[in-house]
Amino acid sequence: RALTIGLIPGDGIGKEVIPAGRRVLEALPSSLGLKFDFIDLKAGWETFEQTGVALPEETVQTLQSCNGGLFGAVSSPTTAVKGYSSPIVALRKRLSLYANVRPVKSVATAAKPIDMVIVRENTEDLYVKEEKTYDTPDGKVAEAIKRISQRASSNIASIAGEIALRRQKIRAAGNPSIHKGPLVTVTHKSNVLSQTDGLFRVAAKEALSNPKFESVKVEEQIVDSMVYKLFRQPEAYDVIVAPNLYGDILSDGAAALVGSLGLVPSANVGKTFAMGEPCHGSAPDIQGQGISNPVATIRSAALMLEFLDEEEAAAKIYAAVDANLEEGKLLTPDLGGTAKTEEVIADILRRL
Amino acid sequence: RALTIGLIPGDGIGKEVIPAGRRVLEALPSSLGLKFDFIDLKAGWETFEQTGVALPEETVQTLQSCNGGLFGAVSSPTTAVKGYSSPIVALRKRLSLYANVRPVKSVATAAKPIDMVIVRENTEDLYVKEEKTYDTPDGKVAEAIKRISQRASSNIASIAGEIALRRQKIRAAGNPSIHKGPLVTVTHKSNVLSQTDGLFRVAAKEALSNPKFESVKVEEQIVDSMVYKLFRQPEAYDVIVAPNLYGDILSDGAAALVGSLGLVPSANVGKTFAMGEPCHGSAPDIQGQGISNPVATIRSAALMLEFLDEEEAAAKIYAAVDANLEEGKLLTPDLGGTAKTEEVIADILRRL
Ligand SMILES: CC(C)[C@H](C(=O)O)[C@@H](O)C(=O)O
Ligand SMILES: CC(C)[C@H](C(=O)O)[C@@H](O)C(=O)O
């Protein structure tokens, strides 16, 4: 099977880690029968500075004809810059990548084993970015719209349910696991936002009441108490589903549990396309030192393959990464090691 | 000085902990010259069921003539119930309690010492609760307004700056501390919400550039990475200021760091009125067993006194609570102990 993969390194360490993802995919055993074509694409702050556009139309169109993609990271300005808007947020919308999936898993040697997946709605909520500012006698006031639809809420909950079932299968196949039952925890703040988060809550629960999810237990948590519980009893969770912004916050929180953002992959998933994206940002502070952690990107490449139904290839990559982490000899500084990016990549390639 | 304090136990364990706050205030040494009058007031789900109103007008009006208040907790339904709306959110608005202050501090014996304050804007953001729902061919869609004003953002940042300066004084007076400098970390998501969170960011930084905050260092964090850092390096923070919803989430997150929500107090602060409120909820699961932790409420009573300029009285209460926790013999089950609420109260009263 031939797979065309768009590569968007973006800014900062995105440029250092995306090549790692590419090399790992290229090094997969030929017995898997996969052939990759890679296309280099532009997006981000540097692209904006060069061309006046953060997400060139060509990037979007090329990706539309790809099977999958790998997105590095972009540096976004913290203040509004005319004409600039985050390319990753735009890409998720333009390519209808309606689910953001972030598995958070500690290595076997961790003090507290963690194994959960955060499933984040990826297209609406406050990310519709409909904002306005007006003047009042008391100064400026700005408003943003938080939009929640029954349809997107229902879709994302179904994906969460499917992931819970898939994890159950993986467990049944003898893999070590922490939480036993397939469980989806619906996160919201409907005690305050009774209409928007109330709709998310009801639509999600309705979707999960479908007979195909009969074996899946459904629970709910208010987002503030979800963050609290995430830290107090992470072992109690399996799949957590949330609207866009809470999902963004929860997935960084969950990443903190496993030691470094440099370990945590994500995938932006649509009906026929998946784009891997490491959870860390562009980290300009460490750029150019050759010490960025390639693991999140390598795992993101595997996660992308999972959603392209290449589970065997994905499993091979995960195993190579886990072996590297479990041995613990070649780790980048964010994990307390002294290895260079290049050494970690070489070690993982060797184990493939 | 005579202080009139409104008591709103609310629902669930609110009814068990508010009396603890009252008894501690009554037991303060007479040398402090404080005389308390308490007025019992109603609000919450039970009140709604009895009277059809969650926050009776009488409660609001009586509080308006009080110096301070103690609010327990209310049980809010997770689905919209006609006529019901969270009384604590309404009270904060009706009484112009524009700041929510949550000090999060571990006892001296903790493995990782934590000492920070989350300052949360308390009147706007998504808590304006302006929502609407409409039908589309694809199903229901709901929208909520997130409103951020320059004025409220500036006010809350100033309070954060003042708290940072006050903490510096307490440290200078020889109290043990973790973070040295006065530091305010402004939290937002302006990389996505450039207008609303962008306004919060700019207004907060402007307020903190006032010469009176010259000694205060100002930093900023994107909210998702703030949650990550909160767990990875809590010792790096002093005062964290945030819009309403992020503040809600961050304060529960910070509470997880010190072991139990049952320890964490808060105060809702206005120009001339302060209302203490334990951070835990109504916890119907443990109600009636006599095991709820009174510490958060007792500390909230002290925090209320601080904002009523009775710092000496507040310090006495904090010291009694700290002594109880440091000895560690009489702790409620949420802290791994076996003591009853009543025994913990008695121990703290004894130490006053
Ligand atoms: C960079 C930013 C726009 C983005 C987001 O908020 O979605 C990031 O935090 C992420 O989680 O991918
Ligand atoms: C009960 C709820 C409305 C409230 C809030 O979100 O403010 C609570 O979480 C709090 O933090 O006081």
Q: What is the DSSP string of B253-298?
A: HHHHHTS-GGG---EEE-SS-EEE--SS---TTTTTSS----HHHH
Is 0.85 surpassed by the pTM of this model? yes
In chain A the first and final C-alpha atoms are separated, in Å, by 19
> Taking CB atoms and an 8 Å limit, are A78 and B201 in contact across chains?
yes
Residue owning the nearest CA to atom 12 of ligand 1: A279
Do A305 and A220 lie in one domain? The reply is no
pLDDT at A103: 94
Closest CA to B100 of B155, B36, B24, B22: B155
Q: Give the residue on B whose Cα is nearest the Cα of A90.
A: B192
Q: B231 contacts in A (CB within 8 Å)?
A: 231, 253, 256-257
What is the number of the ligand 2 atom nearest to the C-alpha of B76?
Answer: 1
Amino acid at position A34, single letter: L
Q: A142 contacts in B (CB within 8 Å)?
A: 147-149, 195-196, 198-199
Task: Return mean pLDDT, chain B.
Answer: 93
pLDDT at B179: 64
Q: Give the residue on A whose Cα is nearest the Cα of B74.
A: A191
Closest CA to A99 of A253, A311, A236, A242: A242
Instruction: Kindly give the distance from the C-alpha atom of residue B307 to the centroid of ligand 1, in angstroms, as a whole number.
Output: 38
**Residue B103: inside a domain, yes or no?**
no
B148 touches chain A (CB under 8 A): yes
Confidence of residue A168 (pLDDT cuts 50, 70, 90): confident
**Which of B257, B286, B306 corresponds to the end of one domain?**
B257
Provide the shortest C-alpha distance from residue B140 to chain A (in Å). 5
Q: A319, A107 in Cβ contact below 8 A?
A: no
**Residue B105: inside a domain, yes or no?**
no
> Taking CB atoms and an 8 Å limit, are A256 and B201 in contact across chains?
no
Q: Give the residue on B whose Cα is nearest the Cα of A130.
A: B193
Ligand showing the shortest atom-to-Cα distance for residue B275: 2
Residue owning the nearest CA to atom 8 of ligand 2: B248
**Residue B31: inside a domain, yes or no?**
yes
Whether the pLDDT of residue A302 is over 90: the answer is yes
Do B209 and B307 lie in one domain? The reply is no
Instruction: Kindly give the distance from the C-alpha atom of residue B232 to the centroid of ligand 2, in angstroms, as a whole number.
Output: 25
Do A129 and A248 lie in one domain? The reply is yes
**Residue from A192, A202, A221, A282 to probe the interface with B (highest B Cβ count within 10 Å):** A192
Confidence of residue B222 (pLDDT cuts 50, 70, 90): very high
Domain that holds residue B303: 1-96+265-352
**Which of A231, A257, A283 corresponds to the end of one domain?**
A257
Q: A154 contacts in B (CB within 8 Å)?
A: 139
Lining ligand 1 with CB less than 6 A are A 76, 86, 88-89, 248; B 191-192, 224
Sign of torsion, CA B278 B280 B281 B285? negative
CA dist., res. A293 & res. A279, Å (int)? 11
Amino acid at position B351, single letter: R
> Taking CB atoms and an 8 Å limit, are B133 and A195 in contact across chains?
yes
- What's the CATH number where B269 sits? 3.40.718.10
> Taking CB atoms and an 8 Å limit, are B256 and A202 in contact across chains?
no
Task: Return mean pLDDT, chain A.
Answer: 93
Instruction: Kindly give the distance from the C-alpha atom of residue A25 to the centroid of ligand 1, in angstroms, as a whole number.
Output: 25
Question: pLDDT tens, B267-280?
Answer: 999 999 999 999 99
**Residue B194: inside a domain, yes or no?**
yes
Do A251 and A271 lie in one domain? The reply is no
What is the number of the ligand 2 atom nearest to the C-alpha of B248?
Answer: 11
Confidence of residue A176 (pLDDT cuts 50, 70, 90): low
**Residue from A229, A231, A250 to probe the interface with B (highest B Cβ count within 10 Å):** A231
A281 touches chain B (CB under 8 A): yes
Here the tokens at position B297 are 């409420």
Question: Among B140, B151, B194, whose Cβ lies nearest the Cβ of A139?
Answer: B151
Q: Give the residue on B whose Cα is nearest the Cα of A260.
A: B232
Instruction: Kindly give the distance from the C-alpha atom of residue A161 to the centroid of ligand 2, in angstroms, as a whole number.
Output: 29
* E strands in chain B: 2-10, 35-40, 68-73, 99-105, 115-121, 131-136, 139-149, 183-188, 217-222, 239-242, 267-269, 274-276
**Residue B195: inside a domain, yes or no?**
yes
Whether the pLDDT of residue B79 is over 90: the answer is no
**Residue B101: inside a domain, yes or no?**
no
For residues A267-281, average pLDDT: 94
For residues A14-43, average pLDDT: 97
Closest CA to B247 of A76, A223, A125, A199: A223
Do B249 and B188 lie in one domain? The reply is yes
Question: Among B79, B138, B253, whose Cβ lies nearest the Cβ of A149?
Answer: B138
Instruction: Kindly give the distance from the C-alpha atom of residue A73 to the centroid of ligand 2, in angstroms, as a whole number.
Output: 34
Do A116 and A249 lie in one domain? The reply is yes
pLDDT at B288: 94
CA dist., res. A332 & res. A343, Å (int)? 9
Here the tokens at position A350 are 């060797």
Ligand showing the shortest atom-to-Cα distance for residue B268: 2
Do A200 and A272 lie in one domain? The reply is no
What are residue A141's phi and psi, to 5 degrees?
A: -135, 135
For residues A282-288, average pLDDT: 93
Closest CA to B266 of B240, B230, B238, B303: B303
**Residue B289: inside a domain, yes or no?**
yes
Question: pLDDT tens, A121-146?
Answer: 999 999 999 999 999 999 999 999 99
Ligand showing the shortest atom-to-Cα distance for residue B276: 2
Whether the pLDDT of residue A316 is over 90: the answer is yes
Instruction: Kindly give the distance from the C-alpha atom of residue B193 to the centroid of ligand 1, in angstroms, as a whole number.
Output: 11
- Percent above pLDDT 70 for chain A: 97
Do B5 and B74 lie in one domain? The reply is yes
Pocket residue to mutate for ligand 1, from A13, A129, A248, most atoms within 8 A of Cβ = A248
For residues A193-220, average pLDDT: 97
Question: Among B131, B227, B232, whose Cβ lies nearest the Cβ of A193?
Answer: B131
Lining ligand 2 with CB less than 6 A are A 191-192, 224; B 76, 86, 88-89, 248
Confidence of residue B292 (pLDDT cuts 50, 70, 90): very high
Residue A277 DSSP label: -
User: How many domains does chain B divide into?
Assistant: 2
Give, for A58, the enclosing helix (H) or strand (E): helix A57-64
Chain A, 187 to 206: residues with Cβ < 8 Å from chain B are 188-196, 198-199, 201-203
Confidence of residue B174 (pLDDT cuts 50, 70, 90): low
Whether the pLDDT of residue B112 is over 80: the answer is no
Do A81 and A142 lie in one domain? The reply is no
Whether the pLDDT of residue B175 is over 70: the answer is no
- Percent above pLDDT 70 for chain B: 97
Do B174 and B252 lie in one domain? The reply is yes
For residues A86-110, average pLDDT: 89
> Taking CB atoms and an 8 Å limit, are B144 and A281 in contact across chains?
no
Q: A339, A331 in Cβ contact below 8 A?
A: yes
Alpha-helix runs per DSSP H in A182-337: 196-208, 223-232, 244-257, 295-307, 311-327
Lowest-pLDDT choice from A9-13, B17-21, B311-315: B311-315
Confidence of residue B111 (pLDDT cuts 50, 70, 90): low
Do B61 and B116 lie in one domain? The reply is no
> Taking CB atoms and an 8 Å limit, are B131 and A195 in contact across chains?
yes
CA dist., res. B78 & res. B338, Å (int)? 32
Provide the shortest C-alpha distance from residue A82 to chain B (in Å). 10
Residue B71 DSSP label: E
Paired with B117 in beta bridges are B103, B239
Do B86 and B210 lie in one domain? The reply is no
Q: Give the residue on B whose Cα is nearest the Cα of A134.
A: B149
**Which of B209, B240, B257 corresponds to the end of one domain?**
B257
pLDDT at A179: 65
pLDDT at A45: 95
Whether the pLDDT of residue A183 is over 70: the answer is yes
Q: A113, A178 in Cβ contact below 8 A?
A: yes
For residues A221-226, average pLDDT: 95
**Residue B141: inside a domain, yes or no?**
yes
B253: left (phi over 0), alpha (psi -120 to 50) or beta: alpha
pLDDT at A108: 61
